[in-house]
């Protein structure tokens, strides 16, 4: 199976350079069957120089002392173009890895000009009669330069696209893990113990209406989490409906020690954000803070106009009462949330902490 690393290896690029060399000098190759019969001795049989003519016109004004000289110069030209293309490909693929087209073409053109100068020096040292300033030769160098730029640019675009695809796959795995973690946190024995305690309290109080409401909210939480893998962006209204069920369970569990204040403008409820954006923020507040009679958590979820961009944002804030013993967590909640916003909304979340208030600002789209 071919990979981009195999395709761009030095050996592979050298082989590609040899093939491209054939392409560049193909006009010269195509002329050989007609050139050889037209090799004429310019001065009879006294060993004078041999010249190549096509339709009575001397090709590149090159004079050779023998047919062997013609073939040696032909091989030199082929190898020179092959090595030139190989070097330009290395520059465009391995040295310039970002798809910066302007920088790429200027650098490649500069290197091509230097190589062209080297070609002139070597050619004149081999045969002083070589004309190195023909349109045909200049065109070959221009084609080599342009091809290497385009190949390098296409390769850079492919690499960037591949990196994005790998990043998307990584985020999908993290999202799946987050969903599994979220679901596991809800169905672990500790959660069931707390939920059953809440149910027990409601049953003993003979509050049938609240008991049924608790079971219904618990069902909604499970259903939303299980169906979240089919959703990317959801409306703020959908997230708030989920939060309504989830916070009910928490309010029963913590009684009046954990409360929510939701201040969302009606016009913002149709705006979108990544699914399960509020869950890690609420879970973060519960996991990392001591919640008791002396440390009550009042979470405020509100929409407002951002002072910097003027766009509507959602703020989630809560007071901080750190636990004496730091909880054991995987630490991926906020990191994953930030990555999902960057991928799906193309904006970053912001985290602020002042005067013992922890605030996360979520952009809406």
pLDDT per position as a tens digit, 272-300: 999 889 988 998 898 889 999 899 999 99
- The pLDDT > 90 percentage for the chain reads 21
Cβ proximity of 104 and 92 under 8 Å? yes
Q: Which residue has the higher pLDDT, 124 or 115?
A: 115
Whether the pLDDT of residue 59 is over 50: the answer is no
Cβ proximity of 254 and 246 under 8 Å? no
Whether the pLDDT of residue 60 is over 50: the answer is no
Residues 118-128, mean pLDDT to the nearest whole number: 78
The arrangement of strands across the sheet holding 57-64 comes to 40-41, 50-54, 57-64
Structure tokens, 267: 């016009």
pLDDT at 108: 86
Q: Which residue has the higher pLDDT, 268 or 32?
A: 268
pLDDT at 42: 41
Q: What is d(CA 156, CA 105) in angstroms, rounded to the nearest whole number?
A: 13
pLDDT at 46: 40
Mean pLDDT rounded to a whole number for the chain: 79
Domain spans, the chain = 4-164, 231-363
Whether the pLDDT of residue 10 is over 80: the answer is no
Whether the pLDDT of residue 94 is over 80: the answer is no
| The CATH number fitting domain 231-363, selected from 2.40.50.140, 3.40.50.970, 3.30.1330.40, 3.30.565.10 | 3.30.565.10
Whether the pLDDT of residue 52 is over 70: the answer is no
pLDDT at 262: 96
Q: Which residue has the higher pLDDT, 17 or 299?
A: 299
pLDDT at 312: 95
pLDDT at 48: 40
pLDDT at 97: 67
- The pLDDT > 70 percentage for the chain reads 76
Pairing of strands 350-354, 258-263: unpaired
Residues 113-125, mean pLDDT to the nearest whole number: 84
Residues 152-170, mean pLDDT to the nearest whole number: 84
Strand partners, 302: 263, 315
Whether the pLDDT of residue 269 is over 90: the answer is yes
- DSSP letter at 266? G
**pLDDT interval class at 37 (50, 70, 90):** low
| Beta strand spans in the chain (E) | 40-41, 50-54, 57-64, 233-235, 258-263, 272-274, 297-305, 312-319, 350-354, 357-363
Cβ proximity of 217 and 349 under 8 Å? no
């Amino acid at each position: 199976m071919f990979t981009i690393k195999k395709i761009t290896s030095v050996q592979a690029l050298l082989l590609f350079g040899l093939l491209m060399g054939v392409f560049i000098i193909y006009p010269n190759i195509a002329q050989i069957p007609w050139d050889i019969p037209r090799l004429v001795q310019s001065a009879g049989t006294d060993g004078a120089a041999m010249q190549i003519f096509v339709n009575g016109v001397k090709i590149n004004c090159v004079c050779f002392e023998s047919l062997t000289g013609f073939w040696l110069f032909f091989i030199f030209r082929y190898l020179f173009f092959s090595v030139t293309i190989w070097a330009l490909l290395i520059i465009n693929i391995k040295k310039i890895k970002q798809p910066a087209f302007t920088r790429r073409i200027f650098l490649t053109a500069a290197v091509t000009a230097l190589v062209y100068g080297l070609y002139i020096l070597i050619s004149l040292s081999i045969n002083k009669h070589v004309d190195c300033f023909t349109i045909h030769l200049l065109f070959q160098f221009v084609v080599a330069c342009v091809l290497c730029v385009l190949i390098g640019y296409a390769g850079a675009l492919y690499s960037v696209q591949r990196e994005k695809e790998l990043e998307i796959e990584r985020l999908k795995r993290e999202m799946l893990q987050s969903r599994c973690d979220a679901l596991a946190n809800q169905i672990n024995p500790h959660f069931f113990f707390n939920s059953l305690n809440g149910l027990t309290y409601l049953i003993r109080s003979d509050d049938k209406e609240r008991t049924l409401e608790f079971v219904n909210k618990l069902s909604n939480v499970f259903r939303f989490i299980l169906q979240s893998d089919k959703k990317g962006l959801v409306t703020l209204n959908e997230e708030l409906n989920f939060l309504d069920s989830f916070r009910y369970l928490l309010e029963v569990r913590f009684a009046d020690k954990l409360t929510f204040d939701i201040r969302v403008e009606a016009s913002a409820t149709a705006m979108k954000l990544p699914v399960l954006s509020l869950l890690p923020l609420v879970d973060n507040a519960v996991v990392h803070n001591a919640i008791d009679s002396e440390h009550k958590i009042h979470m405020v979820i509100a929409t407002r106009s951002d002072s910097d961009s003027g766009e509507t944002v959602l703020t989630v804030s809560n007071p901080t009462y750190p636990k004496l013993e730091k909880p054991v967590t995987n630490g991926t909640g906020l990191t994953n949330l930030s990555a999902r916003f960057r991928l799906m909304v193309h904006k970053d979340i912001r985290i602020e902490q002042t005067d013992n208030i922890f605030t996360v600002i979520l952009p809406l789209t």
